[in-house]
Structure 1
Amino acid sequence: MLAIRKATVADCELIHTLAWQTFPETYKDILSPEQSEYMMEWMYSLENLRKQMEEEGHIYFIAYHNDEACGYVSIQQQGENLFHLQKIYVLPSFRGVHCGSFLFHEAVRYIKEIHPTPCVMELNVNRNNKALKFYEHMGMRIVREGDFPIGNGYYMNDYIMELEID
């Protein structure tokens, strides 16, 4: 049974722990260990998680399967009618229990709740990430691509996908 709850700043440590169990595994065949570690610090240090929540408007949700944290999603409003799905990750041991689609649907539900008029949800996905098929299955489509510098000479080589939400 899957359940979800909105995270607070008090959950930064849990999100940090979940991230260390999901992010490096997800990108082990795509990123160098050095880039993966750099990105973990950039996105998932306790300080940066707090900043995302308190200053940058990231809303995190944590999914639970039988009371065990199994994944998380983060959404950020970036314009009047534009939201960005910043992060969605599921622990490897919970892949196959539909936690990813649960998190995705909950993100869309939340956006509809706070923004009842039509809008767009975008996300960046690495062009070599197997999750691309998942996002296409969820109704998203590639609208553009880019190579985004993130510091230390590293780039995010992404597709930008979108979903129109009515």
Structure 2
Amino acid sequence: MPLPPFVNDPHPLLPTIDRTYKAEEINAFGKDRGPAFYETCHLYAQSLWQIGFPAKCILLLNRALSSPMPGTEPLFQRLPLPYQAMAWLLIHRPADQFIGNPRRHWQHLATRMVEPNKELRAWRAWACWYLAKEILPEADFPADLEQLREEGVVEPTQGDIADHLQDLSPADDLAQWQAALAWADEQTGQGRRPPLQVRVRRIAEDELPVVQRLGREIWRQYYPGIISNEQIEYMLSVWYQPDAMAREMRSRGTWFALIEVAAHGPVGYLSFERYPEGVLFINKLYVQAAMHGHGVGAAALRWTQERAVELGCQSVQLRVNKRNVTAIRAYQRAGFRFAEDVCSDIGSGFVMDDYRMEKRL
């Protein structure tokens, strides 16, 4: 059968084809997931890529990853596990061709996997999800927050995925996945973000102007698109005046702290108070955008939880805007779980539409 007109140049990490591949050729393998199945998945994926179906190409590479072949399989020398092929496709996705939302696709695939080889295939899907998370802009390819909330799904860390690939893989998943991550970082110019030396320090009233300055900077950079500019300015004017914060310290025993990074100085701040029922409630926790991904927020949360234990609290709670997906994921990774929806009137026609999240200590 002649090839249809090509839309895309060949995918450089998939095998060359000389004809059109069809679904029937994959279906003919039945339950067989051996070398011939694995190779045919790659050939069919190339066919789909070249005729302009990148989303379907991803589905075929997923099917290749359903093969439990051992690392001794000679075919892997010619066709390694397709993590880098996935990364190449995500980076070179054509703007005019349907790719769906790979990040959400792999989230669903990982959490709804069925047998055979369920656990291995689920963690291979999480590995692909992580590639999508690192490569694709979150604004265009968001997570399925509703599933995260309703099903209690916690997105895994890079370390979680590495540990499971190491334990479950019969092949060289971990090495291939890490190589794909490094390659993608080089291609996109992102690079791995190293952890920084973080100090969290309780402050007195005389340093509250530093909190005010950081609050104005962080909110005006971070919150547009989550809440309106008018609400941003209103909340800054009400909650970030030094005299208002000082009254919180005096009347409610609120702690304020600066989050500092070596060679950078103050890069964020937090505040919390202890409720009589043994709850430490975090009112504020914000870090400059340039510090995201360096473990700064996680270090501040650990410090806060240590203070909660010292103060005899049984849990830590906070509120987070329902549209603040980045923060919600960070809190989930830190062990916080959804407790309830809370919508509060804060005056001047504005509301806070939040999730209350809690971590038991």
Q: TM-score range by the shorter chain?
A: over 0.9
Partner residue in 2 for 1:52:
248
Partner residue in 2 for 1:156:
352
Cα distance in 2 for residues equivalent to 1:53 and 1:15: 13
Q: Aligned match of 1:121 in 316, 326, 331?
A: 316
Displacement of 1:5 in angstroms is: 1.1
Displacement of 1:56 in angstroms is: 2.1
AA of the residue aligned to 1:158: D
Cα distance in 1 for residues equivalent to 2:310 and 2:275: 16
AA of the residue aligned to 1:126: N
Within 5 Å, which residues of 2 pair with 1:1-166?
A: 1-67=197-263, 68-115=265-312, 119-130=314-325, 131-165=327-361
AA of the residue aligned to 1:49: M
Cα distance in 2 for residues equivalent to 1:93 and 1:114: 32
Give the match's secondary structure for 2:293: coil
Cα distance in 2 for residues equivalent to 1:24 and 1:162: 27
Structure 1 window deviating more from structure 2 (145-154 vs 52-61): it is 52-61
Displacement of 1:25 in angstroms is: 2.1
Higher relative CO (Cα under 8 Å, sequence separation at least 6) belongs to 1
Do the aligned residues in 1 keep the contact of 2:308 with 2:315 (CA within 8 Å)? no
AA of the residue aligned to 2:228: S
Do the aligned residues in 2 keep the contact of 1:73 with 1:104 (CA within 8 Å)? no
Larger CA Rg, structure 1 vs 2: 2
Structure 1: give runs of 5+ residues left out of the alignment.
Answer: none
Displacement of 1:80 in angstroms is: 3.0
Question: TM-score under structure 2 normalisation?
Answer: 0.44
Task: Extract structure 1 runs of 4+ deviating beyond 6 A.
Answer: none
| Number of residue equivalences | 163
Cα distance in 2 for residues equivalent to 1:21 and 1:92: 10
- Summarize deviations over 1:32-52 as a string: whole Å, max 9, x none: 111110001111112211112
- Summarize deviations over 1:57-109 as a string: whole Å, max 9, x none: 21011111115111111111122311211110001222222110011110001
Structure 2: give runs of 5+ residues left out of the alignment.
Answer: 1-196
Give the match's secondary structure for 1:104: helix
Cα distance in 2 for residues equivalent to 1:25 and 1:153: 23
Displacement of 1:126 in angstroms is: 0.5
AA of the residue aligned to 1:96: G
Identical-residue share of aligned pairs (%): 24
Name whichever structure is richer in strand by fraction: 1
